[in-house]
Amino acid sequence: MIGPRIFTSGPMLDGPKPRFPSSIAIATPEGGRRAVDNLKQRGVDFIKLQSLIPRDAALAIAEEAKKQGIAFEGHVPDAVRAGEMSEAGMKSFEHLIGIFEGSSPAEEDFLKGNKTERKFLATYDEARAASLAALLAKNHTWQCPTLVWERGGNLLDVSDFSGDTRVKYVPGPWKNKTWKRFTGEITQGYGTDDIATRKKFIDKELAVVHLLHRAGVPFLAGTDTPAGVHIFPGFSLHEELRRFVAAGFTPPEALQTATLNPARFFGMEEQLGTIEDGKLADLVLLSANPLEDIANTQKIAGVVVNGRYFSHIEIEKMLAGVEAAARRYP
Ligand SMILES: [Zn+2]
């Protein structure tokens, strides 16, 4: 099949009662170490952490991963500080988890699970945010903020995607089961955060991304597909680049979050990330300049995948195939 290069973690590590059935349940430090050892032997590219891993187990996983020379990344576990995970060598954080917690004098209370966006906003402290940003920059802790999903997840009760032209590419079980389940869980989790608070929080996230970026923290473009509701593989990546520009990145900096930066992240700068003689040919050919308007990344004239050229017409045919495949799973 024609597709992207995939680097994968294998099963995620989560707490004793994982949120996702495919995860490995971790209850103890020994369990955490065993899981790292087992996944390393199975040849995964990195270890993925989820939110519910107990504190002592998370720190043991960090230690074991370091010992085994394998990267660990994902969610900063709920019971651990972002600063601690950065110091422990966690390679990247998803969804800005731990950043608002660590930018507040109420961090200890947040670690106990008492999180609301209202409280994040009310207790946000510029000096703490700046010192956390300096720490993340020093440790080169990558951030994959999944900004499209952060916005979408916060607006589920006021969004209507029924007329979105991309919905036709989504198979039924995904729309009707996965999205439904997450929408139910997430809207319930809004609790006391009303829509005005959530909108303020979305804007504050952009401001925080800007702060981290200026401090020298490195960034990756990520979409959280297929977990995110109303997230469309491929399409949503372009939206993510627009969010980076909204957060104050220049268009070239936004482009790099999906080109040069991932190549650096995976230590593959020799092969990927820029257009140079001798590198792997994975290219998008655009009909308008993305440095003038980042939205031009969607004016796609053709794509080169591993040296093979696909014209716009061929891409349209492939998309029609995706649509037909989605229809087969109503
Ligand atoms: Zn996640």
Q: What is the pLDDT of residues 1-59, one digit of tens each?
A: 888 899 999 899 999 999 888 999 999 999 999 999 999 999 999 999 999 999 999 99
DSSP state at residue 75: P
Report the alpha-carbon distance of residue 170 to residue 329 in Å, rounded. Answer: 9
Residue 252 has pLDDT above 90, yes or no: yes
Distance, C-alpha 148 to centroid of its chain = 10
Asked if 311 and 302 count as a contact pair (C-beta separation under 8 A), the reply is: yes
Residue ranges of domains in the chain = 81-274
Other CB atoms closer than 10 Å to residue 248's CB: what's the count?
Answer: 15
Whether 136 and 217 have beta carbons less than 8 Å apart is answered as: yes
Contacting residues for 269 by C-beta, under 8 A, at least 6 apart: 260, 263
Q: How far is the CA of 311 from the centre of ligand 1 (A)?
A: 34
Q: What is the pLDDT of residue 4?
A: 87
- DSSP H helices, 215-284, are 235-246, 251-256, 260-265
CA–chain centroid gap for 135, Å, is 20
What pLDDT, on a 0 to 100 scale, did the predictor assign at position 38? Answer: 97
CA 7–ligand 1 middle distance (angstroms): 16
Q: Estimate the crossing angle of helix 195-214 against helix 126-139, to 10 degrees.
A: 50
Share above pLDDT 70 across residues of the chain, in percent, rounded to a whole number:
100
pLDDT for residue 14: 98
Could you tell me which residues are beta bridge partners of residue 284?
A: 303
Q: What pLDDT, on the 0 to 100 scale, is given for residue 204? A: 98
Question: Are the C-beta atoms of residues 167 and 235 closer than 8 Å to each other?
Answer: no
Q: Which residue has the tokens 């303020």?
A: 200
Ligand 1 center–CA 269 separation, angstroms = 26
* Cα radius of gyration rounded to whole Å, the chain: 20
Residue 227 has pLDDT above 80, yes or no: no
Whole-angstrom distance, CA of residue 30 vs CA of residue 59 = 11
- Tell how far the Cα of 6 is from the centroid of ligand 1, in angstroms: 17
Distance 224 CA to ligand 1 centre (A): 7
pLDDT beyond 90 at 247 = yes
Amino acid at residue number 281: A
Residue 93, beta-bridge partner list:
74, 143
Q: How much distance in Å is there from the Cα of 123 to the middle of ligand 1?
A: 24
List of residues 6+ apart from 41 with CB closer than 8 A: none
Closest CA to 13 of 48, 37, 57, 58: 48
